[in-house]
Amino acid sequence: MVTTSTIGRSVPRREGAAKVTGAALYTDDLVVADAWYGQTVRSTIPRGRIRSITLDPEFDWERVVVVTADDIPGENVVHLIRDDQPVLARVGGEIRHREEPILLLAAPDRNTLEEAVRHVRIDYDPAEPVYALEEATEVYSTINIRKGKDFEDVEGVELVVERSFRVGLQEQLYIEPQGAIAIPWRERGAGSREPGVTIIGSLQCPYYVHRALKRALKLTDEQAVVVQAETGGGFGGKEEYPSMVAIHAALLARKAGRPVRLIYDRHEDLAATTKRHPGVIRHRTGVKKDGTLLSQDIEIVLDGGGYCTLTPVVLSRAAIHATGPYSCPNVRIHARAVATNTPPNGAFRGFGAPQSLFAAELMVEHVAERLGMSSVDLRRKWMLRLGDTTATGQTLTESVGAELVLDAALKAASAVGRSGGRAVKRGRGLSLVFHGSGFTGSGEKKLQGTLAMEALADGTFRILTASTEIGQGTKTIFCQLAADALGVGLDKVDLAPQDTSLVPDSGPTVASRTAMIVGRLVQEAATEIKDRLQRERAPIKVQKSYVQPDSIHWDETTYTGDAYPIYAWACTIADVDVDMTTGEVRVTDLVTAVDCGKALHPVMAEGQIEGGTLQAVGWATIEEIKMKDGGYQNDRLATYLIPTALDAPRIKTILVENPYSRGPFGAKGIGELPMDGPAPAIIAAIHDATGVWLDEIPATPERVLAACASR
Amino acid sequence: MRFTLNGAAVSLDVVGSRRLLDVLREDLGKTGTKEGCGEGECGACSVLIDGEVVDSCLVAVGQVEGRNVITVEGLAGPRGELSLLQQAFIEHGAAQCGICTPGMLLAAHVLLKKEQRPDADDVREALAGNLCRCTGYTKIIEAVLSCGT
Ligand code: FES
Ligand code: FES
């Protein structure tokens, strides 16, 4: 029997039927016998100390379970990069942001739970909070990148352009809020319970939660079991935060001696969970009169909020992408992330790169304007090409797609249409970006993502991986890759559940690494199985771990070398209508050409790009978080707006295939890339329409009107 | 109280002020209807009441006495055959994480009942109450348009 490969074909999504019939089970859909409901009680002040926690004697506390920091069996820390974030703030302990978790409650029903919450009183000794990035003194991390000479020492500079940019907070807004169910034991076979904790939750990284759970609850590897339920979107928001939710649920379940459901409502999710880092980026660019790029001097400051979370890694990606996809002989990048008394910021699709690329791309526009050149021509002059080196000194030896995507986007964009009326002005803007696929520097090497595969006696195959399906298509693509390498039909391959007691740690589902890095392990495992089946009989199990190719060198101390295994590239052209009376910006059409290496599943690749693109349109135009006393003023879905089907532009996606030798079939990671390009393209389009430059996003009507008025 | 759910008669003894969303999910096991906000903003909880799209998080179950309620579980045929619209969602990649999908399907279903050949603007209008954060709506719109006759 001949089976044809499905690579490059848009086969139906594995869990598609379950998702269109309502059969797919997300965390809150799971029925768990005897489960209670949990709730987190949070700080109402941004900074200070907890003086006391009082449980009102009027309430019968026998009816509920109460957990405080004293009930934590292990360490009171949410394990991540730095051990600064407590699971629960303790009496006498410091409060570093509003909505910081202090106490947990569980009750048999929601009414009792709400009643109990009303009878908890927390008194504080408040301290003076720091909100403004400029006033922050505590630094989480700094990064310095140096290439060539200092700005002042560069010779031949004929024009210096300086500009400063500001980007705002953004909520991931997965439509399924955070949630976990904790069961204070683990099942071993039918009905036999063993000591431990089982977590079933909405999450991207089962092993992140596993590690955090072990530490806070003092569990062994086996005792902690983490299972991913069907997950309704992540976008980075379910990278680190689920560890917090899981530990809280586990503490309640342990004390209650029964399962506990800790499911956030939207309001709590918006108010308390991590956001995209806001920041300020200052550029100084030195060029010759003919446009030759001589020197870039860039300062980045990101606001990490109250705790460190993943901030140093976000900062690193921001710094490495700060030059834009351009070749410059002399570069200085100074990046730092500071602490403020606002809720912690964390992972969000793009991970720092959208912030710094926003500034880099607008800088090209400003330099072009000063030189009287077209910004497209200037990009052609500056863009990275094969053999060029990046700011970290990485020589690009393959799959450099800057020019390919620029040409493809320009070709695909139709003529700019007429605007819809006298008060409406139309404009077009363009951006060119790159995005490193996979972890930064030696991240993949340290991580050593592992995947296993089994050939079963019945002739089927099973992939064992902790990589999660969060809508992006992991399950489908892994099955395609395995079936292809094994030479069997898609129906012969399946995935084991994302359950830490069954699957090895393939690393987190982040950083656009899953299809490219773990996908390659799928291929390797399948190839080995196929080979062994020539000589052996099933069952066979093989395991594969990532091996860093010798050609990749990275020096963490000097921040030089191969920052990423490879880069994906994109060019975006945005058309906007600006209503000159209301200041409203409407993005009407958007063309984006993406060099993805190889589209393993074109429909899913397009889907990732379209979704990321709209998320970026939201960030650039309407998604604004207003702060009030260290909290978010618009912490409800009625006031935090994201684009609807009516707001969304017509998006045209062009997939450019420019293979990468180590990616499966040449594929590169593209999950985050679409978040990078739209914002600067939209701001350039607004300038084209109105003649004013905005330096800050989102481009709200107030900002647009103010900019037009001050012209 | 009694009402019709996906074509079958249901009789229940519940407090009439409870949210229809909770009764569907918790008492009737219809967990295809999702909660994304609980405030009428996201449409993840969309159901059909007498053929109109309604946010079930804003409806008290008492209000559906004697009425006809359809959830996503009621869209497939009697033997589980997927409807044309459901098939189109799979084929066009209109469901990514899938959490908005039940609501989207119901909103699109009503549109196609009312308008046999909708254009893209009709589809955008009809889906405007249903938020999706994964797809950028492009593939959802394509899927619905492909079902126009
Ligand atoms: S849950 Fe009903 S509209 Fe969001
Ligand atoms: S598919 Fe994820 S929200 Fe629509």
Identify the burial level of A330 via C-beta atoms within 10 angstroms of its C-beta, where 0-12 means exposed, 13-18 middle and 19 or more buried: buried
SS3 A109: coil
pLDDT of residue A442: 86
Task: Output the CA A18–ligand 1 centroid distance in Å.
Answer: 21
C-beta separation of A503 from A496 below 8 A:
yes
What is the predicted pLDDT for the residue at B68? Answer: 98
Domain count within chain A: 3
Predicted TM-score (pTM) above 0.95: yes
- Which among A500, A515, A545 is the end of a domain? A545
**Are B132 and A607 a contacting pair at CB < 8 A?**
no
Q: Give the CATH number of the domain where residue A365 resides.
A: 3.30.365.10
pLDDT for A1 equals: 52
Claim to verify: residue A530 and residue A624 sit in the same structural domain: no
Mean pLDDT of chain A: 96
Q: Are residues A165 and A177 in the same domain?
A: no
Are B31 and A29 in contact (CB < 8 Å)? Answer: yes
Q: Determine the pLDDT at residue A414.
A: 83
Q: What's the rounded Cα separation, in Å, for the pair A69 and B14?
A: 39
List CB contacts (< 8 A) between B92 and chain A.
Answer: 603
Q: Do B96 and A472 touch (CB under 8 A)?
A: yes
Q: Which of residues 152-181 of A touch B (CB under 8 A)?
A: 172-177
Between A and B, how many CB-CB pairs are < 8 A?
Answer: 173
Say what the pLDDT of residue A550 is: 86
- A471 and A608 in a single domain? The answer is no
Report yes or no on A1 lying in a domain.
no
Radius of gyration (C-alpha) of chain A in whole angstroms: 26
**Over the stretch A63-91, which tens digit does the pLDDT of each residue have?**
999 999 999 999 999 999 999 999 999 99
My answer on whether A211 and A345 are in the same domain is: no
Q: Which of A468-472, A511-515, A526-530 is predicted with the least confidence, judged by mean pLDDT?
A: A511-515
User: Is A178 a domain residue?
Assistant: yes
A40 contact B CB<8A: no
- This model of the complex carries an ipTM of 0.99
Burial of A118 (0-12, 13-18, 19+ CB in 10 A): exposed
Q: Where does the pLDDT of residue B134 fall: very low under 50, low under 70, confident under 90, or very high at 90 and above?
A: very high
| Helical ranges in A72-164 per DSSP H | 110-118
Q: Is the pLDDT of residue A357 over 80?
A: yes
Give the DSSP H/E element, type plus range, for residue A121: strand A120-126
Best mutation site among B72, B99, B130 for ligand 2, i.e. most ligand atoms within 8 A of its Cβ? B99
Question: Is A105 buried (19+), middle (13-18) or exposed (0-12) by CB count in 10 A?
Answer: buried
- Start-to-end C-alpha separation, chain A: 71
Q: Where in the sequence is the domain holding A680, given as residue range(s)?
A: 139-171+275-440+559-710
Closest residue in B to A177 (Cα) is: B36
Q: Which ligand is nearest to the CA of A13?
A: 2
Q: To which residue do tokens 């100074």 refer? A: A334
Residue B25 DSSP label: I
Contacts of A386 (CB under 8 A, 6+ apart): A396, A397, A398, A400
- Judged by a CB distance cut-off of 8 A, whether residue A22 touches chain B is yes
Residue A608 lies in a domain: yes
Distance from the B114 Cα atom to the nearest Cα atom in chain A, whole angstroms: 19
**In A279-416, at which residue ranges do the beta strands (DSSP E only) sit?**
279-287, 293-305, 330-339
Could you give the residue ranges of the DSSP H alpha helices within chain B?
20-22, 84-91, 101-114, 120-127, 138-145
What was the pLDDT predicted at A2? 59
| pLDDT reading at A708 higher than 80 | yes
Q: Are residues A457 and A584 in the same domain?
A: no
**Is B102 in Cβ contact with A22 (below 8 Å)?**
yes
Sheet containing A120-126: give its strands across.
Answer: A94-95, A48-55, A120-126
**C-beta neighbour count of A411 within 10 angstroms:** 10
Question: Measured between alpha carbons, how far is B117 from B113 in angstroms, rounded to an integer?
Answer: 10
Q: Which domains does chain B have, with CATH numbers?
A: 2-75 (3.10.20.30), 84-146 (1.10.150.120)
Q: How many CB atoms lie within 10 A of CB A340?
A: 26
Distance, in angstroms, between B73 CA and closest chain A CA? Answer: 6
Residue pointed to by tokens 């099942």: A187
d(CA A98, ligand 1 centre) in Å: 26
Give buried/exposed letters for A313-329 (b at 16+ CB in 10 A, else e).
bbbbbbbbbbbbbbbbe
For residues A508 and A435, membership in a common domain is answered with no
- pLDDT by residue (tens digit) across A525-535? 999 999 999 99
Residue A2 lies in a domain: no
Nearest to A282 by CA among A349, A202, A363: A363
Say yes or no: CB of residue B108 within 6 Å of ligand 1: no
Question: A552 lies in a domain?
Answer: no
> Is residue A543 over pLDDT 90?
yes
**Would A553 be classed as within a structural domain?**
no
Same domain? A378 vs A497: no
Are residue A36 and residue A154 in the same domain, yes or no? no
Domain boundary among A272, A289, A304: A272
Atom of ligand 1 nearest to the CA of B41: 3
**Interchain CB distance below 8 Å, B93 and A235:** no
> Rounded to whole angstroms, what are the CA distances from B52 to B88, B107, B108?
22, 8, 11
The answer on A313 and A430 residing in a single domain is: yes
Q: What is the pLDDT of residues B4-28, one digit of tens each?
A: 999 999 999 999 999 999 999 999 9
Mean pLDDT across A320-329: 98
Domain boundary among A226, A250, A272: A272
Q: Is the pLDDT of residue A493 over 90?
A: yes
- The answer to whether position A230 is within a domain reads yes
Is residue B104 within 8 Å of residue B127, measured between CB atoms?
Answer: yes
Residue B22's closest CA among A113, A230, A109? A109
Establish if A10 belongs to a structural domain: no
Task: State yes or no: pLDDT of A651 exceeds 90.
Answer: yes
- A88-136 pLDDT tens trace: 999 999 999 999 999 999 999 999 999 999 999 999 999 999 999 999 9
Which listed ligand is nearest to A471 at the C-alpha? 2
Contacts of A188 by beta carbon, 8 Å cutoff, 6+ apart:
A194
Residues A157 and A214 in one domain: no
Chain A closest-CA separation from residue B65 CA (Å): 24
Q: Are residues A167 and A177 in the same domain?
A: no
Partner-chain contact A233 B91, CB within 8 Å: no
* Rounded distance between C-alpha atoms, residue B14 and residue B66, angstroms: 14
Judgement on whether residues A430 and A448 belong to the same structural domain of the protein: no
pLDDT in tens, A569-586: 999 999 999 999 999 999
What is the length of chain B? Answer: 149
> Is there a contact between B146 and B90 (Cβ–Cβ < 8 Å)?
no
**C-alpha B35 to ligand 2 mean position (Å):** 13
Which one, of A510, A421, A502, A420, lies nearest residue A468 by Cα? Answer: A510
Shortest Cα distance, chain B CAs vs residue A130, angstroms = 31
Q: Is B38 in the pocket of ligand 1 (CB under 6 A)?
A: yes
Distance CA A180, CA A202 (A): 6
Tell me chain B's radius of gyration from C-alpha atoms. Answer: 15
- Paired with A170 in beta bridges are A276
Contact B103, B140 (CB under 8 A): no
Ligand 1 atom closest to B56 (CA): 2
- Which chain A residues are Cβ-neighbours of B141 within 8 angstroms? 645
- For residue A188, name the pLDDT band (cuts at 50, 70, 90): confident
pLDDT digits (tens, 9 = 90+) for A417-455: 766 667 999 999 999 999 999 999 888 888 899 999 999
Q: What is the pLDDT of residue A419?
A: 66
Look at residue A604 and tell me whether its pLDDT is greater than 60.
yes
